[in-house]
Amino acid sequence: MAEESRGAYFVQAFERGLAVISCFDAEHPEMTLTEVAKATGFTRAAARRFLLTLVDLNYARFDGKRFRLGPRVLELGYAYLSSFSLPRIADSHLAALVAQVGEFSSVSILDGTEIIDVATRVPPSQIMRVSSSVGARYPAFATSMGRVLLAGLDPNELDRLLPDIEIKQLTDYTVRTREELRTDIARVKQAGYSIVDQELEYGLMSISAPVRDPSGQVIAGINVAGQSGRLTADKARRDVLSLLLRTSAAITSDLIQGSRPAAR
| One domain, residues 198 and 126 | yes
**Assessment of whether the complete model's pTM goes beyond 0.75:** no
pLDDT band at 125 (very low <50, low <70, confident <90, very high): low
Percentage above 70 pLDDT, the chain = 88
Residue 77 has pLDDT above 90, yes or no: no
Q: How would residue 21 be classed by pLDDT, with cut points 50, 70 and 90?
A: very high
Return the pLDDT at 79: 52
Q: Which of 40, 73, 106 is the last residue of a domain?
A: 73
pLDDT tier, 86 (very low <50, low <70, confident <90, very high otherwise): confident
pLDDT of residue 138: 92
Mean pLDDT, the chain, integer: 86
Give the residue from 73, 96, 116 where a domain finishes: 73
Report how many domains make up the chain.
2
Same domain membership, residue 243 and residue 120: yes
Whether 9 has a pLDDT exceeding 50, the answer reads yes
pLDDT at res. 264: 41
Q: What tens digit of pLDDT does each residue of 223-238 get?
A: 999 988 888 999 999 9
Both 154 and 213 in a single domain?
A: yes
Task: Write 245-253 long-range contacts (CB < 8 A, 24+).
Answer: 245/192, 245/193, 245/209, 247/93, 247/94, 247/96, 247/97, 247/209, 247/222, 248/209, 248/210, 248/211, 248/222, 250/93, 251/86, 251/89, 251/90, 251/93, 251/107, 251/211, 251/222, 252/211, 252/212, 252/213
The pLDDT assigned to 263 comes to 43
Residue 262 has pLDDT above 80, yes or no: no
Whether residue 229 sits in one domain with residue 138: yes
